[in-house]
Amino acid sequence: MTERHDPDVLFKALADPSRRKLLDLLHAHDGRTLNDLCEHLDMTRQGVTQHLDLLEAANLVATVRRGREKLHFLNPVPLQEIYERWIAKFEKPRLKALGDLKRRLEKTNV
Amino acid sequence: MTERHDPDVLFKALADPSRRKLLDLLHAHDGRTLNDLCEHLDMTRQGVTQHLDLLEAANLVATVRRGREKLHFLNPVPLQEIYERWIAKFEKPRLKALGDLKRRLEKTNV
DNA sequence: TTGACATGCAAGACGTTACTTGCATATTAT
DNA sequence: ATAATATGCAAGTAACGTCTTGCATGTCAA
Cα(A37)–Cα(A26) distance, integer angstroms: 9
Contact B17 A23 (CB under 8 A): no
Calculate mean pLDDT across residues B86-92.
Answer: 79
**pLDDT computed for residue B109 by the predictor:** 38
Prediction pTM value: 0.82
DSSP string across chain B = -PPP--HHHHHHHHT-HHHHHHHHHHHHSSSEEHHHHHTTSSS-HHHHHHHHHHHHHTTSEEEEEETTEEEEEE--HHHHHHIIIIIGGGS-HHHHHHHHHHHHHHHTT-
Q: Which of A88-97, B8-17, B66-75 has the lowest mean pLDDT?
A: A88-97
Q: Which helix (H) or strand (E) holds A65?
A: strand A61-66
Q: From A102, A37, A73, select the one nearest B90 (Cα to Cα).
A: A73
The pLDDT tens digits of the residues spanning A5-19 come to 788 999 999 999 999
Cα(A49)–Cα(A72) distance, integer angstroms: 11
Report whether A47 contacts B56 (CB < 8 A): no
pLDDT band for position A88 (cuts 50, 70, 90): confident
Tell me the three state secondary structure of residue A7.
helix
Tell me the chain A residues in contact with residue B90 when contact means C-beta distances shorter than 8 Å: 23, 27, 74, 76, 79
Q: Which residue of B has its CA nearest to A10?
A: B15
Highest mean pLDDT among A55-59, A80-84, A106-110: A55-59
Q: Does B13 touch chain A (CB under 8 A)?
A: no
**pLDDT computed for residue A91 by the predictor:** 74
Percent of chain A with pLDDT over 90: 65
Percent of chain B with pLDDT over 70: 79
